[in-house]
A and B are shown apart, each in its own frame.
Chain A
Amino acid sequence: MESAGPPIQKPMSSPSHRIANPRDHDFETRLRAAKGGAEWAWAEIYRDLAGTVTGYLANRGAAEPDDLTSETFLQIARNIATFNGDESAFRSWVFVIAHRRLIDSRRARQRRPETVTLPDPTGGGAGGDVEEEALDRLTTVELQAAFEKLSESQSDVLGLRIIAQLTLEETASVLGKRVGAVKAAQRRGLLALTNHLDIDGVTR
């Protein structure tokens, strides 16, 4: 395995909240390996991102989130040669593709997102705390409903910020918006969420 890579590029924006990243060089290596068709690299990429991509797609009303996830990642594999950049840019790129896939599939179905099919959050929690399970389930159902009441751009932004865990700048670049617009959307979206969920400052 080659360790001496080219000089690490400066990150476009520094992700402030994701686990502080001592892995920049790792990413560089991984990207090179992925471009060379190394399976381990693709496994790592998929392990890192598939969950958030599926979650994002499901939350945004994809009818078949798993299918779309496969398509997204296959497209990433086909186009990896055209990608240059750091890990942050890569995450953005992945979600650009996922987002476009989502829009394409919606267009193909000629309908707006309807019901969100979320993975069963409490799937087979063998005899756990029943009350807590019920609470979680309630929360999920409520959350889902609350999300559906948001405007399209608010859901886009909140989906990318919360589920995909992108930074402000990354989110802006995925959606082709200005950072200011993203900020405004998330302010309104979060306030709307608190209202819909009837949360006031101190819950739990």
Chain B
Amino acid sequence: MRFPGDYLGEMPTKELFDREIELLFAGTPVEGGRLSGLAPVVEVIRGQWTPAPSESEIVHFARSAASVVKTTQSRARVVTTVPPRRLSPRLDPTWRLATVALAVLLMSGTAGMAMAADSAVPGDALYGVDLAFERVGIGSGSAEERLEEAIVMAAQSRSSEALAHAIDALSKQTGDSSVMAVNALTTASENLVDTQDTAEAAAAASLRVTALLTYIADNIGIDVGRDGREFGQGVAELARDIGKGDDPTGAPNPAVAPAPGQGQSNNPGAGPGNDGSNDGTGPGNGNSNGNSNGDGNENGQDNGPPVESPSVTAPSQDNGSPVESPSVTAPSQDNGPLVESPTVTTPRSGTNTEDSPAATAPGKKDKP
């Protein structure tokens, strides 16, 4: 949009000034205007204060992001669900209905707690609760869950803690892939020590650790024959990468092509067309909606039976978890409000720095 100079003269001062500002920001300042002196300033700032990321940085981020997305996708579920809040027992003639609703509310309160705690990672206030729930059989407490926690920790730049957490969990497992993973993770810890010198290196390492853990989480359990070797090589490569400098470009990329047969994602090399119903462009939120249905395998995830992961058998991590079932099945009769519910979020969002602003209303500042 351009505003002819003669037009400007007819505007009230304030609006005139606002126009001038817009033109300045658009890079076409008004000649001789009050702000024309700022034009070079804007230019300098835009030219010099926005460092373009290096290609290697881009490649590395793209790799991590892709694996994070796939992991998140296959684990996506409703963390807390609040039953429809239209019950007003006093006015409602059907007391029985109210009682049932209240029971549901109470039940899902506990389940909600379990699930909120379930997504806690070491260091979170709720982590103790998570462990307690797991001891009584709510939430698997499986190695897989520990891996998930480690991934979150790594993404929080707690690389060494994350590795230790994962090693701790996996060393209790048997199976070739667990052994390979533990070896790789140990290598990674050793390499990590060398890379913590600068904040930049630490950040890069954190991304690499995330990638390694995600790869392990996605592929562990495939420990026979050729695939097992592939897994071993994959983790070893990623672990070695952690010791490298800041140039992940040349590194092979096992994370993109997970070994065949994995049970949780049918999107290994996902192109844009691969996401099917999961693209979220339909009304509401396709992804979490699909998962909240309890039986909703529209994503095609989890189409491999758990049989395929013999060493870390934690099918309960996936859609059919006993933890999820009470509150997932309850609201599934009523998908409408659920979709709009702001509580729909990805797993592991229980940390204090985590926030998932509602995408459709970015202006809402719920964490001022």
Contact = CB atoms under 8 A, between A and B. Distances in A.
Chain B interface category by residue count: 35 or more
Nearest to A203: B37
A47 B58 contact: yes
Contacts, number: 282
Chain A interface category by residue count: 35 or more
Contact of A173 (B36, B202, B362): B362
A4 to B, nearest CB: 9
A39 B257 CA distance: 12
B157 A71 contact: yes
B362 A67 contact: no
Contact of A43 (B62, B278, B286): B62
A118 B50 CA distance: 9
B93 interface: no
A173 B66 CA distance: 28
A38 B44 contact: no
B53 interface: yes
A77 B65 contact: yes
A202 B64 CA distance: 48
A201 B37 contact: yes
B333 interface: no
Interface string B196-212: 00011011001100100
A71 B157 CA distance: 8
Given A81-B346, A140-B44, A200-B37, 7 more contacts: A32-B272, A77-B66, A81-B76, A81-B278, A143-B44, A193-B38, A202-B36
Interface of A: 1-2, 5-6, 16-17, 28-30, 32-43, 45-47, 50-52, 54-55, 58-59, 64, 66-67, 70-71, 73-85, 89, 92-93, 96-97, 100-101, 103-105, 108, 118-119, 121, 136, 139-140, 143, 161-163, 165, 168, 172-176, 183, 186-187, 190, 193-194, 197, 199-204
